[in-house]
Amino acid sequence: MRDSYVFRKGYQDDERARKSFNQLAGQIFGLDFENWYQNGYWKNNYIPYSILKGDEVLANVSVSPMSFRENGELKQYIQLGTVMTSKSCRNQGMIRQLMQEIQNDYEGKADGWFLFANESVLDFYPKFGFRRSDEFEYVKAVTIDKDEAVLKVQIEESDNLLKLQESIKESCPQSSLWLESRWELTMFYALDYMSKNIYFIPEQDAYVFASLEKGQLYLHQVFGPEKVNLDRIAAAFGREVRSLVLGFSPIAQQGFTCRKIKDSDTVLHVKGAALDCIERECLRIPELAHT
């Protein structure tokens, strides 16, 4: 590494470096973490490992330690995400160096690791012990004869934001692989590109991240103090719904068809025997747990 380059981690409170991080994330992924940070959600739950020149972020791999409730059993996993390099610095081994730094810090401190990679780098991560894993989704046909009974949540209103936050924090597990901690991550989705896809269903006392298109209701995630009924959740969206697709693996699978996800922009990679359960039990890492 050049003498003018420096390695830094967990620097999100440094305004200049954070601004550069956001600029690079915007260029590569169309992401901006500033609103998330300003609302107090970016803490030690998302740790950038970066190479910088001055205040400019040249390359990054972010670390997210996570606790999952896996069919009732608590597991500690580490997710790697926001892997990016500025165009002028590619093919210089920066990501390899960052991966080594991360392994030095976290090896042996979790039950397993996972990440989502695009097709162009599928040969890279196996060098660090990762293996490709299939992903699954659960679908079912539905017939609904009720009127719509969902309330669209205007998340820009502070009261609504706080109510959603509390619901996420206090929710009981609603999937067989449930993100037990790091509720702040879900708030990133709420503040960013899913801000228009949040609903409240009074009958279930549940908040739902969902999208409905051409009769297909896609439930990204559901939060509530008691275990929800997914059929009733779907029914609350009214007669237009003809099929239900889940962005998580349900606790009760009866009535659902499980299928491999084939048309995805990213490929799941896992490390550690604990994550063999993904394929063995056809679990799905919840969509709203991706970093």
pLDDT at 1: 60
Encoded tokens for 60: 């990054």
- Angstrom distance (rounded) from CA 88 to CA 100: 22
pTM of the predicted model as reported, rounded to 2 decimal places: 0.93
pLDDT at 189: 96
Class of the CATH domain delimited by 5-134+265-283: alpha beta
pLDDT at 72: 86
Q: Which residues pair with 244 in a beta bridge?
A: 140, 217
pLDDT at 265: 85
- Angstrom distance (rounded) from CA 137 to CA 221: 13
pLDDT at 263: 79
- DSSP assignment letter at 277: H
- Angstrom distance (rounded) from CA 12 to CA 203: 40
pLDDT at 9: 97
Cβ-contact 98, 58 below 8 angstroms: no
Pick the CATH number of 138-260 from 3.40.630, 2.20.28, 3.40.50, 3.40.190: 3.40.630
Q: Which residues of the chain have pLDDT under 50?
A: none
- Angstrom distance (rounded) from CA 194 to CA 220: 10
Encoded tokens for 156: 């820009």
Encoded tokens for 251: 């606790």
Question: Does 5-134+265-283 match 138-260 in CATH topology?
Answer: yes
Domain borders along the chain are: 5-134+265-283, 138-260
Q: Which residues pair with 70 in a beta bridge?
A: 73, 177
